[in-house]
Structure 1
Amino acid sequence: MSIISSFKNNIFLRNTMFNYIGMIWMGGGIIVLIPFYIKLLGPHGWGIVSACLSIQAMLLILDAGCSQIMPRDIAKTNTPENIFFAYFWIYIAVAFVGAVFLTSSAGWLAFRWFNAGHSSRELEFCIRLLAIQFLFQFANNLNIGFWNGTQKQFNTNLSQVCFFSCKHCVALISLMVNPEPIVYIVSFAVVTCIEFIFNFLWITRNNIDLKGLIDNNILIQLIDLVKENYIFSFGVIVGVFVSQLDKILLSHYVETQLYGVYVIVAQLGLSFLQLQYPLMKSVLPALSSQGEKSIFNVLSLKKMIIMLLVLAFPIGLTIIFSSDILYLWTRNHYIANHGGGALALICLSVLINIPYTFIYTNLVRLNAGGIILFSNIISALSMFILFHFMKENNSISIGGMMWIAYASISFSIGGIFLLMRAR
């Protein structure tokens, strides 16, 4: 009975559990569904979809400048609706600009950047449709940021789990009727549009009065947010750009089919990396509301170590049996043979990144944008140099090496900064 009572009264514990349930459903769902998509679309069709997914991930880099500071800003204020209104205009403006960019650059991306061969025209059309999905996907992150900042992770995860399931159900059923890449993109675009509208109405009917969107003070609030956070936001955006650098470079240098293998491998590695995100989403607002207090006021050292060990165990097994796991997962020898080495390297970088989660959360809380920016610039330079000397190998394993370089440099610089500050 005391355990149940403790769970009900501990917002941090409750939110962490909700975040992990959502992550397990969505992360596990992706792992289960990818083999079905490969079977329905084939290597060629999956390559087209992988290219579109990569473009979307690259553009969602723009959200990194807001998604990590919006929950912090909302958690620190007594008037979260004012922060919501200011970020609303930021999200809508960036979403619109990103959609216009995608539409106008679709031809160049399809014919000049990706090695799609005779499928370039098909890829171009898919990218234009992807602009619609990006518009609403990016705008929906405003709703997610508000719920995370007000520590309503139940709402966040309920919405994400439901719409994740809807997107993939619609896509799978549609692909069974017509297994073409464009069908996948259209299915996701339609459900994403509904997702944004539903979530926005949920928030504005229960938490926010829409009249505040055109309040005269919003412009002042917007300017203050930009002044306070522009260095930090830029540092985070650079960081997320660096995290996508492997995909950006490989997408240009390897053929679309082999790039599709790398996207599969990177997705599995990302699923392990996402094991840390629910914890960070709970720690950040809880820590921000504590002012200058230590992270140990939110999470004890013992619990921290236990979490690290639990997260590390499945990753270690994947490193040892990477090729076997890929084959069991996809039942495809081509994917297992070409992706095993890259998967092992990516998982090794995830192991390095696990303790960095707590370092990074503290850097966000301290608004240490300069340190994050410096770390990311050094990482980017190192990754460019690494890629320059190894690109001739025409192997996707270089992507895993770039992951390791990024994780190691970030951990070292962030850890040294916090140690020096603690003295």
Structure 2
Amino acid sequence: MRMLPPSMRPLVDNLFSSYAYVGLMALITLFVVPIYVHTLGSAQWGSVALCVTIQGFLFSLDIAFGPLMLRDVARAAATANPQTIYARFLRLYATAAFSAFVIAQSVLLLFAQHRSAQGAPMSDDLFRAMCLALLQFLFQFANNAAIGYWNGLEKQRYANLRLAGFACAKHGVALLLLTQWHASATAYMLPFASISILEFILNHRRVRRDRDAITADKNAGKNVAEWRDIAAFGAAAALGFLTAQIDRGFLFIVLPTENYGLYFLISSLLLSLLSLQVPIYRAFVPRMIIATSPRRVAFSMLKISLLLLVLPSLLMAAFPDLVLRLWLHDPTLAAAAALPFRLLMLAMACTAIFSPCAALLLHYHRNRATALINAIILVAQVLVLTILTPRLGMLAGALAWFACGTIQLICAAWIWWRPSPGSN
């Protein structure tokens, strides 16, 4: 670290801390989750899995807010008061979280009443656990405002330390309750909900303490994304979310369970690799926003992506059978999934190459271009899935991702070739 130029040290520090946090979450999945499964049993763990799945769907709302907050906090930090940005996005996050909470809670109550009327009532434990899961979402989603604030200020090590500390506290208390009190879905969700409330309060108080150290600027609002910008980016982000999920949804309906299970397995590795783009994105976007040459920062981001994501993806694409044999310990499954896995890894490489270009589009407020690219990808994926799935099975899902990557690669070449765009 000492041999690096001073300007690079915060960047490397942020990348390292973000990947360390990702590694911590992976370790929890590998070592702690099996304890949950063993302690709860298959039925109770199924209830927990349902709660976590619903949370995952609700948390996907952040794709519409997170990149905008990262951009606007970074810009305000250089020209105005980032507290103004935090206050506005906190209202946005809180409003979205409360609206989703009310809707989801209403749906849950109606579903529970429907089950009772059908003579198959939902268990009290599952109902309480789902209520706690929604309560956790309410405060955890609002907490993203504080995390986005620190990420935008390039204080990602601080943000990751707080995330890691609270995550360990949640899992630690959950293990204690399950082993020493009562093994139930409610006992699992209770510490996650209660500590999320504490996390939101403490993080909010910590951000507010920065206010005294920053001088307010009457022009601070000029660089804040307006509601029209938020809505436009949100629509583009929603299309992007669909492009990442449509293969699973379609193949789940069409394929036999056994074939879908194998595709779900190998596509999970793709989605895990895609999540590794997030630390790079968060580390470079704040710098890109305030840079005199955003393309130079984007090119640096591309070089890091080539090293950390593209090269490993291409290596796995070159030897898919070997990778799957080592991972699955089943030569038959490895042989069946080798070609789809190769296409998925090639798509991953293309997506990683496109990521710096997506950051440039965010910087220049090119929401229409982002939406158009995602719409073209979505149409191409729908065509590939509907035409090829009856003949090719799960290979069609991999081809849909390959079509996505190919379009992104073409768009990346177009963005690099054309002059710097202006704002919409």
Per the alignment, do residues 108 and 76 of structure 1 end up closer, same or farther by CA in structure 2, a change over 3 Å counting? same
Report the identity percentage: 23
Counterpart-to-counterpart distance in 2, 1:31 and 1:196: 27
Per-residue deviation, 1:216 = 11
Q: How does 1:221-300 map to 2 (within 5 A)?
A: 225-246=226-247, 267-296=268-297, 299=300
Aligned to 1:95: 97
Counterpart-to-counterpart distance in 1, 2:261 and 2:122: 15
Counterpart-to-counterpart distance in 1, 2:280 and 2:91: 29
Amino acid across the alignment from 1:84: Y
Counterpart-to-counterpart distance in 2, 1:123 and 1:263: 26
Aligned to 1:65: 64
Aligned to 1:377: 375
Deviations 1:99-130 (A, max 9, x none): 11111123677999xxxxx8965766543332
Per the alignment, do residues 405 and 132 of structure 1 end up closer, same or farther by CA in structure 2, a change over 3 Å counting? farther
Amino acid across the alignment from 1:278: P
Q: How does 1:38-187 map to 2 (within 5 A)?
A: 38-41=37-40, 45-77=44-76, 78-106=80-108, 126-176=129-179, 178-187=182-191
List alignment gaps of at least 5 residues for structure 2.
115-119
Partner residue of 1:412 out of 410, 414, 417: 410
Identify which range, 310-319 or 197-206, moves more after superposition.
Answer: 310-319
Identify which range, 385-394 or 18-27, moves more after superposition.
Answer: 385-394
Amino acid across the alignment from 2:275: Q
Per the alignment, do residues 186 and 308 of structure 1 end up closer, same or farther by CA in structure 2, a change over 3 Å counting? same
Per-residue deviation, 1:76 = 1.1
Is 1:201 aligned with 2:205?
yes
Counterpart-to-counterpart distance in 2, 1:186 and 1:257: 35
Per the alignment, do residues 10 and 81 of structure 1 end up closer, same or farther by CA in structure 2, a change over 3 Å counting? same
Aligned to 1:13: 12
Residues 318 and 325 of structure 1 are in contact (CA less than 8 Å); yes or no, is this contact kept in structure 2? no
Deviations 1:264-292 (A, max 9, x none): 66554333222222111111111111144
Per-residue deviation, 1:403 = 4.0
Per the alignment, do residues 300 and 137 of structure 1 end up closer, same or farther by CA in structure 2, a change over 3 Å counting? closer
Identify which range, 406-415 or 79-88, moves more after superposition.
Answer: 406-415
Amino acid across the alignment from 1:204: R
Per-residue deviation, 1:92 = 0.7
Identify which range, 371-380 or 153-162, moves more after superposition.
Answer: 371-380
Residues 140 and 196 of structure 2 are in contact (CA less than 8 Å); yes or no, is this contact kept in structure 1? yes
Amino acid across the alignment from 1:156: A
Per-residue deviation, 1:195 = 1.9
Counterpart-to-counterpart distance in 2, 1:255 and 1:195: 43
Q: Please, what TM-score do these two structures have when normalized by structure 1?
A: 0.77
Counterpart-to-counterpart distance in 2, 1:191 and 1:53: 16
Q: Please, what TM-score do these two structures have when normalized by structure 2?
A: 0.77
Counterpart-to-counterpart distance in 2, 1:95 and 1:361: 26
Per-residue deviation, 1:141 = 0.8
Aligned to 1:115: none
Deviations 1:18-47 (A, max 9, x none): 222222222444344444445445555554
Which structure carries more relative contact order (alpha carbon 8 Å, separation 6+)?
1
In our comparison, the structure showing a higher alpha carbon Rg is 2
Per-residue deviation, 1:254 = 8.3
Counterpart-to-counterpart distance in 1, 2:111 and 2:252: 10
Residues 236 and 369 of structure 1 are in contact (CA less than 8 Å); yes or no, is this contact kept in structure 2? no
Per-residue deviation, 1:405 = 4.1
Per the alignment, do residues 377 and 336 of structure 1 end up closer, same or farther by CA in structure 2, a change over 3 Å counting? same
